[in-house]
Each structure stands twice: as C-alpha cells, then as structure tokens.
Structure 1
Amino acid sequence: MKVLGISPLDKDSTVAIVEDGEILFAAGEERFSRTKQQDGFPQLALEAALDYTGLQMQDFDLVCYPFLTWENEQKLFHKNLEDEKTFIKGFQPADLSRQVKEALEKVPDRNQPIHGLEHPNAIMEKSFLHSSFYSMAGAQKLASNNAAFKASRQWGEAATESFKRWEQDLNNGLAENGWTKPVKRMDHHLSHAANSFLCSGFDRALCVTLDGYGSGLAGSVSEASNGKIKRLHGLPFPNSLGTLYEHVTSSLGFKPSRHEGKIVGLASYGDPSILGDILLGRIEQTPGDFRIYEANNVYFSRYLASRFPKIDVAAAYQYVLEQVACNYVRHWVQKTGIDTLVLSGGVTANVKLNQRLFEIEGVNHIFVYPNMGDGGCGTGAALYHSWPGGIKPSISSAYFGPDFPEAQLEKALQAEGLSFSRPEHLAAEVAALIHSGQVVARFDGRMEYGPRALGNRSIMYHAREPEVNQWLNKRLGRTEFMPFAPVTLYEARERCYHNIKGAEHAAEFMTITFDCTEFMRENCPAAVHVDGTARPQLISREVNPGYYEILKEYEKLSGIPSLINTSFNMHEEPIVSSPEDAVRAFLQGALDYLVMGPYLVKHPSPKH
C-alpha cells in the first residue's frame, strides 16, 4: 500500500511517501523554499518527493493528515478549556510574593562570564509599565486568573481559525495536484506514537508523546506491541509541557517553537533550586497524570524573567520539565512493567529530558523518533495506515531526502567559478585537513530528514579546541549557548559516554545526551557542555560509509574517535538541500573546504 503523509501545515510542513511501512522519501518544505519552518501546503517538497520516487498522485492508495477536521478539533479543545476554568478556580496557589522575596535572597553574585550574555546575572530588562503589568497579570491571583482565562479563550479562537485555514489550504493544494478522493485524518498523538514505535524495531514498547497541542491532548502514553498501539492515558490540553517551555523561551527573548534548544543550554549555567519549587507548586501531580495552573498565562514566566537572572529562570523550567515528565512516565513504566521507551512530540526534542527519561529505574531501552516534532507526523500517519503488520527492522538512517548526480554537483561549482579536485583517497585527505585545523563542510548522498544534520549536510571540525564554539558560530552568524555536538565512531561509544547501553540507536540520530567520560572531556572539550554532557551522533560504516571513513581516518591521525558535527547552514536558514544551496553557504560562511560528493573544493578566500 502506497501512502502520502502530509504533516500539519501550521509550521514545518513536510511530505512523506511510505509503502508498506517503508519510508521511501521524506523532506520538509523549508529545505526547498529556504524559509525556516515553512508553513502552508508543501508544494515544493511534494514535487521533489514525486520526482524522486517516480510516483504520481493517482498511484497513492491514501493521503493521510495527522489532525482531525477543524470541527472535531474545536469540540475537543472547547471541552478542555471549560474543564480548565473549573481547575483554576479550585486551585489554591502559595503566597507568591513571599516565595519571590525568599528566592531573590538566594540569587548568588556571579562574575564568571557566559558567552552570549552581557552579564552572568543578566535579567530581561523591562520598562516600569511592562514590569508592573507582569507583576499584576502574572502574579496577583484575581488578575492572573483573568489573564489565563483570556489567553485560553484567545488561543481557542486563533486555533479554530488556524484549523479552518490549513484545512482549506490542504484540500486546495491536493486538488491542484490532482487528488480528488477524501483525506484520511487521524488523531495527532497517535501519529506521534506511530512514528516512534513503528520505526524503533522494538516488538513491544511504551510510547510517550509530549507536545504543545494535538487532537485535544498535550501528551499521551500508549502500550504498543506487534505493530498495534493502544492508548493508556491522554494528557488533556492545556496541561502542556510544550506550552510551558514555549512560554519561557519567549519570556527570555527567544523565538518559541524554534529556540527551545537555547534554553536547554542556558539552563546548565543556572541554579534550579532558586525558582524550581515555585514552579512545581503550580503543577498538580497525581500518579500518571498532572495539571498545570494557568497553563496559557505567559505573563507568569515574563514576571519571573523580569525579576531573576535568565540562567536561573531557564534552569528552573528545565528542572520542572524533567521532574514532571519523569514522574509521569515513571508511573506508567511501573504500572505496565515495560522496560522500553519510544518517544515523539516536540517536547522530546529536549535531549536533556530524554537522558533523564532513560535514567528512570526500570527503563533499559530508549528510541526517539528523529523528526520528533510535528514535521514528523506525516510519516507517522503514513506508516500507521500502510503498516502490513508484525515487526519490521528499525530505520537504520534518516537519509530520506533527495540526492543529486555528479553532473549537477559539477555544474553548481562551475557556476561560481570554483576549482575542484577528485582525490583518490578523499576520506584520508579530508581527515588530514580537519586534523590540521581546517573547517570542512560535507554535502553528499541523500539529505537528512528532521531537525538534525547527520553527516550528509554537515560542517566538520576537530573537537580539541573549546574556543571553536565562539569563532565558528560567529562565522556562521549564530549565537548558541550549547556546544557543538560530536559525531563518534559507533565502536568507540563506551570509551566516550557513560551509560549508553540501551540508548545506542537513539544516539545514532543525535536525540539524547549522555554524561561524558574523562577521555571525552579531555580530548573533545568543544563537544562537552558545561554540565559534562554531550549529544552525540554514533556512526557506523554500514549506515554512511563516506562519513564514517573520514572519522576513521581522523582517528588514525589523532587517536580521537569524535569530531564536531554542526548543521551546514547559515544562521536562521534551513539546512542546505541542493548543490546550489551548499555552494552559497560554503562561500558565505567562508568555510575552508567543501566536500561535494567525490569532489574537494578549497575556498577561494578563507577566513583565517
């Protein structure tokens, strides 16, 4: 059965083609439009998918979409928002003014500089009017309750309009491409559970989904076995850890749904005990469930951000995310006795949270779907509806996008007047360049699917130099609080990371952090965060021979089985997709060398 899956159109719209449970092609519209997290009908991605597979619209048995009709979505969230009013009215929060006063006394003097912050204790400086408003709408019970009710009402109105609009766009886009049959719609969190379980290779697992909103829910737990998924629990929206984290992302001056990773990095510098208990006091936790007080009121996090150091606010939110999610999941692990977790949903992009979930007692195996956000729901829907039954081997890679013939690579290089060679021992030559301190971009094979660059659209550098985080990010126009992630030889995993057994497959997709060994901390400081963790990609020869050989040759020269792997793109641009994108980013970023297929290109005027 051939199925076309289209992910939600509200952000990061993505196309997937699946046949009998095998992903033939999957790519996000952003890679082709060159607009980050592109919304709307994914016309360019659809054209690329049909071109790559040689299929036409009439060849599909189904077109799937991972949301219900707008009327059904509206029914679900309207009921939830009514329930929320009852919860808020009955909730008795602690005396916030006393808590805040005590918390302010705990903030230490700090003078150790943090790259990217003007001062380690920097707060979000706001005008007197803004600060006054936040302290009222975020911290005074009557006003904050009203702000929460209003925010939920406005969310519901905006969501209804959004669902109507994207439903129309979906139907129009499909009709313009010749699809006249109905669209198979499905529960949003079931599509998340499906992509994680059906790609994991496990015969039995506990599927955990956590995100902002989807079909009335903000999360779910399901028991899955033999290709079948049975829901055990749903977390009703707006009790959303995704929304909670979006609020702090926005309140600390970053873009929600895009820059949450910066909060994870920032959190490691702060002290979670300063605000952690205040935040936890606003969440009612019961075994296998929780409710978040004033979940849609962004002014509470803005109030905290205007009073406390950014690093302490970030630390508290990360701590609370970990505590609440782990308590929730631990209950279901104990209740079912299942020792295998599979994760999906935007919240599970939080690599530190995933480490904590893997550390739950009784969990022995973990897999995180590589495109865990809503962009991955199209594959989940298509996999679910095309699944032939039984267990299939896990996906071995996320290389589901387009690749390009050598003639097109040559043409893109020639168009910019670049000279290039075709070395006989390309991997050895590239490894020697990296070992000598050159920055090398790699564009080869099929493009990665999902948010992470996994070697085919990556920038490589040695990890021996911690300063690289500043100067290479500057060269690429980025500001980050996280270190670069390492790529590590699969066979060297236990030499570099503690407690990786059972999480090796998740680590092939750079979806989880681990505590680093002394060897890793000493030899790869650029890849180790201030908290001693790293987010590796494990690579084996079978999965990506060309990429593996470069790393293997580098190990021969240096004795180190890890390199920096960062995405090949300029700041706020999607990862490169075409040869032309690659050449432009190579020249703009003034990277030293470009590996394009079998060709090696030296930058005409590198920055040194």
Structure 2
Amino acid sequence: MYTLGIHTGHDSGAALFKNQALVAFCKEERMTRIKNDGGRFELQSIDEVLRIAGISRRDVDTVALSKTRLPLSVYRSTSSPVKDAWRKLRGKNPGRFLAREMAARHEYDEAKVVDFARLKSVLGVKETAEIIFTNHHYSHILGSFRYTDWPDQALYISCDGSGDAMVYSAYYFDGENLECLHGDRFRWMDLDQRGGFSVGLAYSYATEVIGFRPNRHEGKITGLAAFGRPVAADAIFQRFQTASDGSITSDFNHPKELRAFIRELLSPLSREDAAASIQQASERILENWVKQLLALRPVKYVGMSGGVFANVKLNQTVASIPGIEEVYVFPAMGDEGLPVGNAIDALIRQHGLTSIQRDRFATLYYGYNYSGNDLVEAADAAKVDIRRSEAPAKEAAELLAAGQVGAIFFGGMELGPRALGARSILASPAKRDVNDSINARLERTEFMPFAPFVAAEDAADVFEVDGSTHHACEFMTITTNVKPEWEDVIPAVVHVDNTARPQIISREQNWLYYDILKEFKTITGIPCLVNTSFNAHEEPIINTPQEALGALYDNRVDFLVCDAGLVIRR
C-alpha cells in the first residue's frame, strides 16, 4: 500500500510511504531550484518521490493533502467566481486555498467543496484511490509523534506563524490517545484565531524590520541576536499572556496591530539589539507556554514541530526546563515536513493510533540515491579531473587538514532544511576566519558560525550534551554549550555566546561522512569538522551531480568527495 503526502503551500513537497515506512521525500525547491518554492498544485516533487520508489501515480492507494492550493477545476464552485475568472484572464494562477474556501462557506466536509473524482483525475491516480485532507498543525504534531518511541506520558507541541488559522497546538499522549490540550483541529475555521498572538509572526515581522526577508531569513536573526542587548525584550514579552488552560493570547486583535507594534518598537534600535530583543522575548514566551502545559500534564518528554522550532537557541531553552528528560524536534520542522505528517494522518485513520509503527529516524537520506559513479560519470563527461580512490575518506581528510574546502556528495538528499552529510560543505574548524572565507565564496551573509559535526563517542567530550539533547543533536536542531577547553581549538564553530549547533553522527548512518571525520581526527587531533549546506546564497541545497559540478566550477568548493573518489577542478 502506497500513501502519498502532498503540501502545496510555501515550502511545497511530497512524501511517499510504503505501508507504514517512509521511502521517499522531496522538497519542491530541490527540483525547481527556487528557494522556498510553493503555491502551485503541479509539483515536480510528486514525480520525484514516485521515481525514487519505482512506481507510477496509478500505484498510489491514498493521497493525503494539506488544505492549501487546489486548481479551480476541482472545486464544485468557488466563493469568488468573478475574481477567479478575472485572474484567469490576466494569466494569473487561478487556484484557490481549500481552507479559505471552506471557511468562507462554513463547511467542514471537503467533499461538498471539492469534486474528488475530478481531483483524482488531475492527480493522475486511480479511481479507487482514497483522498483525505489534513489539518496543518495536527500534521506538524504527527511528524514528531511518529518518529519518537516514547511509550506514553509525552507532550507534543507545534508553533508557527499560522496554519489553517491556528498558531499553536499541544497534544498529550497517554499511551493510547492523543489528547488535544490546545489548538483543536476540528475548530480550525475560527478565523478569530488568526489574531495577533503569534510569536512566529512577531519574529517574522522583526526579521523584516531588521532588513531581511520574512519567512526565509529568520535563522540570520537567531545568529545576530548573540551580538546585541535585549533592551526591548520585556516590552514584547509583556504583551503576550499564557492562560491556565495552556493557550497563548496577546494585546493585539489582528496581525496588523502586532506588525505595527514590532515596527515601532524595534525600528529605532540597532539591528543587533532588535534581534536580541525578539529572540529573548520569543524564548521567554515559549518557555512560559511549555511550563504551563507541563503543569497541566506533567511529563518528561516533549516533541516539537512547526517553523518556530527551527530556532535552535529557543529549542535549547525548552530543553533546559526542569523535569524534561528528552526533547525531540522533527527534523523537517517547518511546512516542508507537512507531506510526512499528512501521510501519517492517513495511516492513522486507516489503522488506528495505537497500531501506527513508531520509531526513531535511523537516517534522513530519503532523496534519490545517486551513486558515486553517477558523479564520476558526470565529471568525466564534463572533462573534470577525477581521482578514483580506494580511500576517499583519507584523501579528503588530508585536503581538509591542509585548509581546503570540500563538499560531500553521497547518496540520497536529506529530509528537512539542514544538510546532514549527503550534501554538505566540509572544512577544518581550527580557524575562525573560515566562516568569512566560505561565506564569501557562497555569497552568503550569516551571523551564526557554521555547525560542527562530531562522532557520537566524542560528542560529550566537546559539547555539553546529555540524554535530553543527544537525539535532537543528531539532526542539528538544537544548540548546546561548548566545553571551555575546546573553545579556542574549534573557533570556526563556536558562537560568541559559547554555543554551537552540533550534529552527532555514527558510522551506521553515513559511513563516508563518519570516516572523513575520523581520518581528520587522526591527522589533526580535532574531533570535529565544519558542516554547512552545499548551496550558494538564496539557492536551494544541491541535488544532482550536475549541480554539484556546477558549484565546483564556480569555485564554491575546492573538491568534491563521493564513495568512488574525489573530483577536483582543473
């Protein structure tokens, strides 16, 4: 049985499950090469996940979709037919968001708004395929629920700018049921919930005020915050309240009011102080929220999802709350993870919650599995120097130790926004200025240093990691403090606040990545390497061999390494 999960909003993509196992994932931007691509129904990522699995659309048994953009042709009617006709005449995308159409009609039954037979025809799936639509925040929750193995007594929370008119949700798992504490997925049509109480929107508005692009550059603000003083944090924090039932409210009735407040408050400040203010305020608001939820349902385990939890510093704050023994952040925490949650929702409806397979991710490499020979053949065709090797890890480590910058191209692309050893740029962490030199080559502006990766057996020697954060660190979703004796040894990966966002790895997950690291340690005595995503500024992460070679030609890196050897620019 094949279940296809689709999301057509921003950060579109597709995920494919065979029975209850995820077998393929693709974010649309990796195919179109347009950052954060979305808003269309015709997704290349659908065909990519089917190609990975070796099946066709006619083999899909269930399709699970977000209530986002659908083509006009599948609606029984729309709430604005004149406007739709005018947009179509002007050549604009005539699709409409299902959630908005349903809210406009106060209709909870998707089948009364959408012609499922037409939708199946547009999708190209068989007539007997099942179609389901999901709730945005519940899908976020299900990603972290499915990929944790906590048997019971766990809290699952989501937080983002807004999705299906909700901003926050919280669920308690008692071993048999997921109890909704806040953000009931059956009340998503209450448009008043799109009020000005969204910490995610506040952070995006601050990103805009500071001079960066909202819904894209929030990570820059997280890094910049460490350089400033949180002089306006109290003013923001005091405008948000956490109620005894675990809900968050604010003094703002509409996002426009929140945006105006953030602009007026932060515009006079330096960008460093503005960043520090929104960062600290966000941490305090979310920390209060989680503490109140834990007062309602005392648990030791907290799973997190939604775009707000892309904030690695905030996640460290949550992990430090007394009584929490482990946190987990779904690696595709933003909307790119919704296809996974959508498919899981379909599986739960078919099999029941307690019959769903739950385990931890063993790997995140769910993209098309390119071999080293694919890269070598592409390089040979492009007449690039190829160094075939029986020991590519050792040779790559020697070049890195000598100060060169390389990129690993190995297997399938990573699920989620982070590069985790399949499409990563590698460098020595021994010199702080490597951040500036690599950023210059990639045309990036970053304020947080690059992330380190470290073997599991060395992690606790270098970083302050324990059972509460170890698993989250496997996917680079949380910051930790760096032990003092290592600060000057690995300065390229240590931020000014003495934190780093390490990726903890094992050989079972990625043998080439691991072996390069161990060879580097043998040569230098340093147990870490720099890992930053293999892409230039405003470019999605590299996907294909041809894109990797293009980066080499453009002098983004000095060499490529794969399991078949090294590729070096002439």
Q: Return the TM-score normalized by structure 2.
A: 0.86
Q: Using the alignment, how far apart are the partners of 1:163 and 1:542 within structure 2? A: 48
Question: Alignment partner of 1:522: what SS?
Answer: coil
Contact 1:2/1:386 (<8 A) preserved? no
For 1:43, the equivalent position in structure 2 comes to 43
For 1:486, the equivalent position in structure 2 comes to 452
Q: How many pairs does the alignment contain? A: 515
Report deviation, 1:176. 3.6
* Residue-by-residue CA offset, 1:370-418 (whole Å, 9 max, x unaligned): 0000110110111232255155321112111112244432332123210
| Equivalent AA in structure 2 for residue 315 of structure 1 | A
| Equivalent AA in structure 1 for residue 48 of structure 2 | A
| Equivalent AA in structure 2 for residue 19 of structure 1 | K
Q: Using the alignment, how far apart are the partners of 2:179 and 2:302 within structure 1? A: 14
* Residue-by-residue CA offset, 1:303-356 (whole Å, 9 max, x unaligned): 233311111111111111101101011111232121101010000000001000
Report deviation, 1:43. 2.6
Report deviation, 1:226. 4.3
Quick check: 1:396 aligned with 2:362?
yes
Question: Alignment partner of 2:488: what SS?
Answer: helix
| Equivalent AA in structure 1 for residue 513 of structure 2 | Y
Question: Alignment partner of 1:37: what SS?
Answer: coil
Quick check: 1:300 aligned with 2:261?
yes
For 1:17, the equivalent position in structure 2 comes to 16
Q: Using the alignment, how far apart are the partners of 1:317 and 1:169 within structure 2? A: 44
Question: Alignment partner of 2:400: what SS?
Answer: helix
Q: Using the alignment, how far apart are the partners of 1:397 and 1:172 within structure 2? A: 37
Task: Flag the 1:157–1:546 CA change in 2: closer, same or farther, 3 A.
Answer: closer
Residue number among 274, 283, 299 corresponding to 2:240 in the alignment: 283
How do 1:135-214 and structure 2 match up within 5 A? 160=100, 175-179=121-125, 180=127, 183-204=131-152, 205-214=154-163
Contact 1:463/1:525 (<8 A) preserved? yes
Task: Flag the 1:299–1:515 CA change in 2: closer, same or farther, 3 A.
Answer: same
Residue number among 577, 586, 604 corresponding to 2:552 in the alignment: 586
Report deviation, 1:506. 0.9
* Residue-by-residue CA offset, 1:456-508 (whole Å, 9 max, x unaligned): 10000010110111111011110101100111111111111114322111111
Aligned-pair Cα RMSD in Å = 2.5
Report deviation, 1:157. 11
| Equivalent AA in structure 2 for residue 200 of structure 1 | T
Report deviation, 1:230. 2.2
For 2:54, the equivalent position in structure 1 comes to 54
Task: Flag the 1:448–1:225 CA change in 2: closer, same or farther, 3 A.
Answer: farther
Quick check: 1:474 aligned with 2:474?
no
Task: Flag the 1:171–1:524 CA change in 2: closer, same or farther, 3 A.
Answer: farther
How do 1:538-553 and structure 2 match up within 5 A? 538-553=504-519
Q: Using the alignment, how far apart are the partners of 2:269 and 2:132 within structure 1? A: 48
Contact 2:141/2:158 (<8 A) preserved? yes
Residue number among 228, 243, 249 corresponding to 2:201 in the alignment: 243
For 1:233, the equivalent position in structure 2 comes to 182
For 2:164, the equivalent position in structure 1 comes to 215
Q: Using the alignment, how far apart are the partners of 2:103 and 2:361 within structure 1? A: 32
Contact 1:595/1:601 (<8 A) preserved? yes
* Residue-by-residue CA offset, 1:533-577 (whole Å, 9 max, x unaligned): 001110101111111011011111111111100000111100001
Residue number among 256, 261, 271 corresponding to 2:219 in the alignment: 261
Q: Using the alignment, how far apart are the partners of 2:44 and 2:155 within structure 1? A: 36
Residue number among 384, 396, 401 corresponding to 2:345 in the alignment: 384
Residue number among 286, 298, 305 corresponding to 1:325 in the alignment: 286
| Percentage of pairs with the same residue | 36
Task: Flag the 1:405–1:455 CA change in 2: closer, same or farther, 3 A.
Answer: closer
| Equivalent AA in structure 1 for residue 57 of structure 2 | M
Q: Using the alignment, how far apart are the partners of 1:64 and 1:196 within structure 2? A: 18
**175-184 or 41-50, which moves further after superposition?**
175-184
Quick check: 1:64 aligned with 2:64?
yes
**551-560 or 232-241, which moves further after superposition?**
232-241
Q: Using the alignment, how far apart are the partners of 1:500 and 1:237 within structure 2? A: 38
Contact 1:487/1:536 (<8 A) preserved? yes
Residue number among 333, 341, 344 corresponding to 2:305 in the alignment: 344
Q: Using the alignment, how far apart are the partners of 2:19 and 2:370 within structure 1? A: 26
Quick check: 1:566 aligned with 2:566?
no
Question: Alignment partner of 1:564: what SS?
Answer: strand
Q: Using the alignment, how far apart are the partners of 1:316 and 1:30 within structure 2? A: 32
Task: Flag the 1:445–1:42 CA change in 2: closer, same or farther, 3 A.
Answer: farther
Contact 1:68/1:185 (<8 A) preserved? no
Q: Using the alignment, how far apart are the partners of 2:515 and 2:182 within structure 1? A: 45
For 1:125, the equivalent position in structure 2 comes to none
Contact 1:12/1:375 (<8 A) preserved? yes
Residue number among 330, 333, 344 corresponding to 1:372 in the alignment: 333
Q: Which runs of 5+ in 2 are unaligned?
A: 71-95, 105-112, 185-192
* Residue-by-residue CA offset, 1:234-256 (whole Å, 9 max, x unaligned): 29433211111111011111111
* Residue-by-residue CA offset, 1:15-68 (whole Å, 9 max, x unaligned): 000123311001101101111111123532111111110122232221001338
| Equivalent AA in structure 2 for residue 283 of structure 1 | F
Q: Using the alignment, how far apart are the partners of 2:450 and 2:31 within structure 1? A: 25
Give runs of ≥4 in structure 1 deviating > 6 Å. Answer: 156-159, 161-164, 167-173
Task: Flag the 1:41–1:586 CA change in 2: closer, same or farther, 3 A.
Answer: farther
Contact 2:316/2:479 (<8 A) preserved? yes
Q: Using the alignment, how far apart are the partners of 2:545 and 2:13 within structure 1? A: 21
| Equivalent AA in structure 1 for residue 243 of structure 2 | T
Q: Which runs of 5+ in 1 are unaligned?
A: 71-155
Quick check: 1:309 aligned with 2:307?
no
Report deviation, 1:187. 1.4
Report deviation, 1:278. 1.4
Question: Alignment partner of 2:267: what SS?
Answer: helix
**429-438 or 499-508, which moves further after superposition?**
499-508
